[in-house]
Amino acid sequence: DAKTTQPTSMDCAEGRAANLPCNHSTISGNEYVYWYRQIHSQGPQYIIHGLKNNETNEMASLIITEDRKSSTLILPHATLRDTAVYYCIVRVYTGNQFYFGTGTSLTVIP
Amino acid sequence: NAGVMQNPRHLVRRRGQEARLRCSPMKGHSHVYWYRQLPEEGLKFMVYLQKENIIDESGMPKERFSAEFPKEGPSILRIQQVVRGDSAAYFCASSPDRTQETQYFGPGTRLLVL
């Protein structure tokens, strides 16, 4: 089952940074933190993943605390198209499946 | 480079009929995963296949559901004698040959059982 805890919903003003928190206090040493999002019942879209170092790509930044018990996904300049459900998932790198919890419903407000 | 393809996108069946859902992975991917999303719920893993092999079917219902990924052609998720509770969105994902790392998802098939 899901090993993460996320807020049910969040709002963010368009153009501002969206910071989505995730708690994973029972994460194991060989488990990665993945972020996916699902826009209006489309297929989940991969965003980013990391082990212990902070990661950045063209979509977002992932900040993982030093003890790895929590992380934050940052969308630097949120747009209306970023309105979606965001899933934080921990998984062994070569695991068979992703456990999708209920995620955080992010609404970007004009 | 085309993404994961699924068809049909929408499927309507009457109770007792069979449903066949197809998934073509991304080019070069030989690992396929099926997930089901019931209304207002998160995705739930069903089965993981490689070419001609079922690797993990721990999430598959014990009856009426089967999956295959033949040497040639798409992966098929088959639901026999559908019931209303099978109404859901079914998503397929694929990952590269060498490692299983990130899974890339298709647009899904919405199954409605009348």
Q: What is the pLDDT of residue A41?
A: 77
For B57, the token pair is 């079917």
- State the Cα angle at A68 between A34 and A53, rounded to 5°: 70
Q: How many inter-chain contacts (A to B, CB under 8 Å) are there?
A: 55
Asked whether residue A15 carries a pLDDT value surpassing 80, the answer given is yes
Q: What is the mean pLDDT of chain B?
A: 92
The predicted-structure confidence for B18-73, as pLDDT tens digits, reads as follows 999 999 999 888 899 999 999 888 899 999 999 889 999 999 999 999 999 999 99
Pairing outcome for strands A55-56 and B43-50: unpaired
Give A4: exposed, middle or buried? Use CB within 10 Å, 0-12, 13-18, 19+: buried
Distance from CA of A1 to the nearest CA of B (A): 10
The predicted-structure confidence for A41-90, as pLDDT tens digits, reads as follows 799 999 999 999 899 999 999 999 999 999 999 999 999 999 999 999 99
Pairing outcome for strands A104-109 and A9-13: parallel
Subunit contact B48:A97, Cβ cutoff 8 A:
yes
Q: What is the pLDDT of residue B39?
A: 86
Residues of A in contact with B39 (CB under 8 A): none
Interface of A with B in 37-96 (CB under 8 A): 41-46, 49, 87, 93-96
Subunit contact B106:A102, Cβ cutoff 8 A:
no
Subunit contact B45:A87, Cβ cutoff 8 A:
no
Residues of A in contact with B89 (CB under 8 A): 41
Identify whether the C-beta of residue A49 lies closer than 8 Å to the C-beta of residue B102. Answer: yes
Nearest to B42 among A42, A96, A103 (CB): A103
Nearest to B105 among A44, A95, A103 (CB): A44
Q: What is the mean pLDDT of chain A?
A: 92
Q: What is the pLDDT of residue B97?
A: 64
Identify whether the C-beta of residue B50 lies closer than 8 Å to the C-beta of residue B69. Answer: yes
For A106, the token pair is 């992010």
Subunit contact B108:A43, Cβ cutoff 8 A:
yes
Q: What is the pLDDT of residue A3?
A: 83
Residues of A in contact with B33 (CB under 8 A): 96-97
Question: Which DSSP string corresponds to chain A?
Answer: ----B--SEEEEETTSPEEEEEE-TT--TTEEEEEEEE-TTS--EEEEEESSS-EE-SS-EEEE-TTSSEEEEEESS--GGG-EEEEEEEEETT-S-------EEEEEE-
Radius of gyration of chain A (CA): 13
Split at pLDDT 50, 70, 90, the class of A2 is low
Asked whether residue B5 carries a pLDDT value surpassing 90, the answer given is yes
